[in-house]
Amino acid sequence: MIDLRSDTVTKPDERMREAARTAEVGDDVYGEDPTVSELEARAADAVGTEAALFVPTGTMGNQIAARVHTEPGREILAERESHVVKYELGGFAQHSSAQVRMLDGGERGIPTPAQVEDAIVEESLHRPGTGLLCLENTHNAKGGVAIAPDEIAAVADVARERDVPVHLDGARVFNAAVALDVPVTDLTEPVDSVMFCLSKGLGAPVGSMLAGSEGFVGAARRVRKLFGGGMRQAGVIAAPGRRALENVDDLERDHENARRLAAGLADVDGFDVREPETNILRVDVAGTGLEPAAVLDRLRERGVLASEMGATAIRFCTHRDVTDAEIERALEEIDAAMAG
Ligand SMILES: *Cc1c(COP(=O)(O)O)cnc(C)c1O
């Protein structure tokens, strides 16, 4: 099977397994796991923050951020197709007692400064007050859109001028940086906190990082405990995560593969292919006359896995465990599947 469902399917390579095997460990809830501490220091350094916290999942990282930044009853501004709105089970309501005000970020999933300005409400006898603005980069549901530093800064500045903190769901923020050819710090500098995943394109088996100021990360450490995410000899999983941080430059190859896949699929009858900006390729299949699920079945029969993306589209996601040759083979198989 050529698995293009997600970059989360990557498996730890030999170096990661060896790093896990030989990791020095301690009880991280006591702050005594040197491997976790080193990963946290390196991650903070990578995104240009004072500190960072190792968390089991990206979802937990986002949820901790909301809990730290807001108070119960506040509003959180988030893009309507964002992961925090669509795929985190209403966590902001459940864990932070917050109300979400959704903004329509259009084709690229980024609200305008005017939209943010209009959506911010001051606390009063009648109004809840805005507690947080949450942005996403790359934007997953819009098809791995890489949002540029000036676009992030423009909306973040509006919020921060009104004393509203900004959290970046940067699950794939390194994909954005590589695609835009900018230092990742250009994308993280305008915000107060950032979460990024080690377990996606970077290839680690588990883990994400939540980064921000010393004060923020101190508070986040306490909320991680509250959410049941205090881990003991976590160096065993932090060690592959540290290796994953060295894989950033390899993301360019995934992006090239996504472009090659896009170029090849453009010739398939009924496929409307969106030019990929990073490693996610969105293909509208309405023109085939088939439901996305039926298209996926046909591909599966030929050994290619992809996933559904909305009512009429499917998604291919390239990653470090698919070779260039497998991309070529996937193209041939998809061609055959759709011709048949
Ligand atoms: C994958 C993802 C997350 C959550 O990460 P998990 O580790 O799966 O919980 C959050 N935001 C975005 C944009 C993602 O793609």
- C-alpha 53 – ligand 1 centre gap (Å): 16
Range of the domain at 71: 14-246
- % of the chain with per-residue pLDDT over 90: 99
Q: Is 278 in the pocket of ligand 1 (CB under 6 A)?
A: no
- pLDDT average, residue stretch 213-218: 98
Among protein residues, the one whose CA lies closest to atom 2 of ligand 1: 171
Encode pLDDT of 307-340 as tens digits: 999 899 999 999 999 999 999 999 999 999 999 6
Distance CA 337, CA 340 (A): 5
Same domain? For 105 and 234 the reply is yes
Cβ–ligand 1 contact at 63 (below 6 Å): no
For the cut 90, the answer to whether the pLDDT of residue 259 exceeds it is yes
- Looking at the structure of the chain, the number of domains it has is 2
∠ Cα 178 196 16 (to 5°): 85
Q: What span, in angstroms and rounded, lies between the C-alpha atoms of 275 and 32?
A: 47
136 lines ligand 1 (CB under 6 A): yes
CATH number at residue 324: 3.90.1150.10
Residue to mutate, 169, 187, 280, ligand 1, most ligand atoms under 8 Å from C-beta? 169
Q: What is the pLDDT of residue 17?
A: 98
Quick one: 235 and 331 in the same domain?
A: no
* pLDDT surpasses 80 at 44: yes
- Whole-prediction pTM value? 0.97
For ligand 1, what atom is nearest to the CA of residue 82?
Answer: 13
The rounded distance, in Å, linking the Cα atoms of 102 and 119 is 9
Same domain, 281 and 166: no
Would you state the pLDDT for residue 111? Answer: 98
pLDDT at 340: 66
Chain segment 124-172, per-residue pLDDT in tens: 999 999 999 999 999 999 999 999 999 999 999 999 999 999 999 999 9
Note the pLDDT tens digit of each residue in 66-76.
999 999 999 99
276-299 pLDDT, tens digit per residue, is 999 999 999 999 999 999 999 999
Location of structure tokens 């190859």: 253
Last residue of a domain, one of 196, 216, 246: 246
Cα 116 to averaged position of ligand 1 atoms, centre (Å): 23
In the reported structure, the alpha carbon of residue 76 is separated from the centroid of ligand 1 by a whole-number distance in angstroms of 18
Helices (H) and strands (E) in the chain, counts: 14, 13
